[in-house]
Every structure is written in structure tokens, then in C-alpha cells.
Structure 1
């Protein structure tokens, strides 16, 4: 291996690592705020890429019908619960309006816009608008009723949600894969390296989003409230921070990050309904590198994981995934030796 090949592999690793970093940060965020080890994070990636792919064909994305179905189910179950608590009809109606308002509006807009083949950036915005509310619906249906359950129970539910979302992806998107057009077709030469415009966008978008998330958590009152929930849920409740609102916000933000990752990954590979699992799992491995609590370490672990994947694929392409997922073992061993008496609280 000469220096030029090493440079190409390093660039490829950093590019993939930038996407894994977004997913790792979303995983750390969800675990910190809600104690959920969210396995289906990669499903949002697949949904984002597939939604944009259907927009490209002038078809109404299956995300529309999936979002409306989950919204209807959430409204029905929560309305029944409110009636049982003695709420009057108008109070229930206001609640349904607050839950279903945005999903209905963005779904109607998408149905109207899809056959007109709007510009790519408009399709991308519609995709983000459709996939992001799915996070809130998953929280309402699957995790909100179990907010105080143990981490193990939440993990089991998370695995179940993964299988459900994968199956729904097959139902609403079909088995056909999609490869989306690049957002920027320019190419740049940097010595022996050649950078595509899409690679530049992936790197810049990842860095920009990570910086905005840092500013959000460190400088905004809402972000500090989420941080407080992550540090001490009981203490946050005592000072008036709604852990329910924090949980919903965390799931919405994770879905947005997943959808954005899908838009970034879509032009580089063909995405199928079940492609998100491996992508999301690599983000989870990077989050484990950070101990599921540090955003900077999660981003750094993701870049290192991307490098391991890139160089591992060059040396032994048949064992690429084995090399990637085996890399988590020494990290787990080190953490178990460092904290041998750790117990769940």
C-alpha cells in the first residue's frame, strides 16, 4: 500500500465516519435523555433515502401513508386514554389537533408536490418534513407508556420496534432499491485525491450539524433542559422540566438526524428497505466507543470506525463487517475492567 492509496482510503473512512458520527450522536442523545438504546436509528436513514427516491420518480412516497397510519393509531389510543381520565370531547379534539396537525399538513403537501417533480432541494425538505415526525410517533406508541421501565425492557422494545419498522419499510416502499442523484456534481482534485461534490457536502453537513448541536446543548435554554434531563431525570422533574417533552424532542431530533443521514448516503450507494440496520449499527458501535455519554467522543469514535472499515475493506473485503464489529470487543473489555462494579440505577 503506497501513500496515494492510503490517502484515498483515509478520505473514504473520514467520509463514512462523518455519517456514522451523526448516527452515534443521535444514539447518545436518546440514551442520555430517555435511557433507550435505540436500535432502529438506521431505519430513519433508509426511510430518508427511499422517500427522496420516490419523489425523484414523481411518486407519492410510502412515508406519507406510513406517517398517517402511525398518527391515526397514536391519536386513537391517546384519545381513548383521555376519555377514560374524564376529559371532555373538546379537550380530546384539541389534543388530536396538536398531534395530527403537522403530519397531515406535510402529507397533503407531499401528495400535491410529488407528481410535479419539484427541485431536488424541495424534495429534500419534504423528505425531512415527512421522516422527522415518525420519531415522535414511535415515541408516543412504543416508548412513552414505558418511560419508567428498566433499560433492559426498553432495549427489548427497541429491538421489537426495529423489526416492525423494517417490515413496514417493505410494505410501504417495496423491495426495490433507490440510488439518489448527487446534490453537487462538481469534482475537485487534491494531489492524488479526487473529491466529489457529494463528499464535500457530506463532510460539511456533518460538521455543521455537529457544531449546531453543540451550540444547541451548550447555549440554548431548551438544550440545557435536555442536558439536565440526561444528567438527572428526577432532579429535572423537581425543577419543572418536563421529561415527557424532553423524550419527545429527543426522538424527533434523532429522526431528523437519521433522515438527513439518509439524504447524504443516498447518492453514494443503493438503499433498500432493510439497508439501514447495518448503517445504524455502526453508529451504535461508535456510540459505545464513547460510553454512550459523550458527544465529542462519539464523533471521534465514528471517524475511527470509518477508518477501520475503509482499511479493513482494502485488506480483506470479505471480512469487512467482521472487522468493524469485532473492534467493539476491546472497548467493552476495557470498560468492564475500568468499571467492574457498575450497576444500573
Structure 2
């Protein structure tokens, strides 16, 4: 291996690492606020990429029908919960309206817009608008009633949600894979490196989103509320911060990050209905580098995962996944020796 090959592999690793960094951030965020190890994070990636692919073909994506079904289920759950706790009809109506209005409106927009074949950027924005509500709806249906359960129970639920979303992905998108067009087709040269405009977009979008998240958590009231919930759930409740609202907002942010990652990675590889699992798992490995708590270490871990994958595919392409996932073993061992865990009560 000479310097030029190493440079090309490093660029490829950093590019993939930028996407894994976004997924790692979402994983850390969800776990910090809700204690949920969110295995289905990669499903948002697949849903984002495949939704855009079907919009490119002028078809109404299955995401629309899935979103309407989830909104209907959430409305039924809100009514049942309101009647159980003897809430007023006006309050129940407000909750049902909050769960259904946006999904119904954006679904109607998507049904109208799909045959129009709008420009790529418009379709990308519509994709984000369709996939992002999945986060809050999934939290409402699968996790809200279990908010105080143990981490193990929440993990088991996450595994079940992952299998459900994978099966529904096959139902709504089919077994055929799709590769989306690049957002920028230009090519640039810098010494031995030749990189595409899509590579630049991936890196710039990742950096921009990371900065936006930092500003959100540091400067906005909602961001500070999420930070408070992550530090001390009971203390946040005593200060009037709704853990239910914090959970919904956290899952909504995770869905947005996953959908954006799907848009970024879609032009670089063929995405199938089940491709999100491996992609999300690499983001999880990166999050483990940070102990599911440190955002900077998760970023470092994501770049490391990207480089391991890139160089591993060069030296032993058949074992690149094994190399990446094996890297988690020494990290877990080191963390276990350094921070002996206490039994959860």
C-alpha cells in the first residue's frame, strides 16, 4: 500500500464515518434522555433513502400509508389513555389532534406531489417531512407506557420494533434495492485524491447538523430541557419538565437524523429494505466508544469505525464487517475494567 492508496482509503473512511457520526449522536441522545438503546435507528436510514427513491420514480411511497397507520394507532391509544384516566373530552381531542393533524397533512401533500416529479431537493425535503414524524409516533406506541421500565426491557422492545420495521419495510418498499441520484455531480482533485461533490455534501451536512445540535442544546429552552432530563429524570420532572414530551422530541430528532443520513448515503450505495440494520449497528458501535454518554467520543468512534471499515475492506474485504464489530470487544473490556457497573434497581 502506497500513500495514494492510503489517502483514498482514508477519505472513504472519513466520508462513511461522517454518516456513522450522525447515527452515533442520535443513539447517544436517545439513550441519554430515555435510557432506550434504540436498535431500529438504522431503519430510519433505509426509510429515508427508499422514500426518496420512490418519489424519484413518481410513485407514492409506502411511507405515507405506514405514517397514516401509525397516526391512527396513536389516536386510538390517546383516546384509550384519556378514558382510562377520566380526562375531559376537550383534552382528549387536543391530544388526538396533536397526534394526527401533521401526519395526515404531510401524507396528503406527498400523495399530491409524488406524480409531479418535483426537483431532487424538493423531494428530499418532502422525504424528511415524511420520515421525521415516525420518531414521536413510535415513542408514543412502543415506549411511552414503558418509560420507567428497566434498560433490559426497553432493549427487548427495541429489538421487537426493529424486526417489525424491517418486515414492514419489505411490505412497503419490496425486496428490490435502489440507488438515489447524487445531489452534486461535480468531481474535484487534490493531489492523489479525487472526490465527488456528494462526498463534500456528506461532510458539510454532517458538520452543519452537529453544530446545529450543539446550538440547540446550548441555546434553546427545549435543548436545555432535554439535557436536564438526560442528567436527572426525576429532578427534571420536579422542575416541571415533561418526560413524555422529552421522549417524543428526542425520538423525533433521532428520526430526522436517520432520514437525513439515508439521503446522504443513498447516492453512494444501493439501499435495500434491510440495509439500515448494518448501517445503524455501525453507528451503535461508534456510540459505544463514547460509553453511550459522550458525544465527542462518539464522534471519534464514528471516524474510527469508518477508517476500520475502509482499510479492512482493502486488506480483507470478506471480513470487513467482522473487523468493525470485533473492535467493540476491547472497548467494552476497557470500559468494564475502568468503570465497574452497579446493578440496576
TM-score interval, smaller chain = over 0.9
How far off its partner does 1:115 sit? 0.1
CA 1:49–1:341: 2 relative to 1, 3 Å:
closer
2:188 partner SS: strand
Aligned partners of 1:137, 1:95: CA distance in 2, in Å? 12
How far off its partner does 1:93 sit? 2.3
Pairing of 1:50-129 with structure 2 (within 5 A): 50-129=50-129
- Look up the match of 1:210: 210
How far off its partner does 1:246 sit? 0.6
Number of residue pairs matched by the alignment:
345
1:273 partner SS: coil
Pairing of 1:174-189 with structure 2 (within 5 A): 174-189=174-189
- Look up the match of 1:289: 289
Pairing of 1:1-345 with structure 2 (within 5 A): 1-344=1-344
* Segment of structure 1 superposing worse, 78-87 or 12-21: 78-87
CA RMSD of aligned residues (A): 0.9
Structure 2 portions without partners, runs of 5+: none
* Segment of structure 1 superposing worse, 88-97 or 237-246: 88-97
Aligned partners of 1:220, 1:90: CA distance in 2, in Å? 30
Give CA deviations for 1:226-276 in whole Å, capped at 9, x if unaligned. 001000001111111111111100000000000000000000011010000
Give CA deviations for 1:303-344 in whole Å, capped at 9, x if unaligned. 011001100110000000000000000000000111124333
How far off its partner does 1:94 sit? 2.4
Aligned partners of 1:304, 1:224: CA distance in 2, in Å? 30
TM-score if structure 1 supplies the norm length? 0.98
Aligned partners of 1:160, 1:151: CA distance in 2, in Å? 14
TM-score if structure 2 supplies the norm length? 0.98
Aligned partners of 1:342, 1:331: CA distance in 2, in Å? 18
* Segment of structure 1 superposing worse, 331-340 or 93-102: 93-102
How far off its partner does 1:85 sit? 2.4
Structure 1 portions without partners, runs of 5+: none
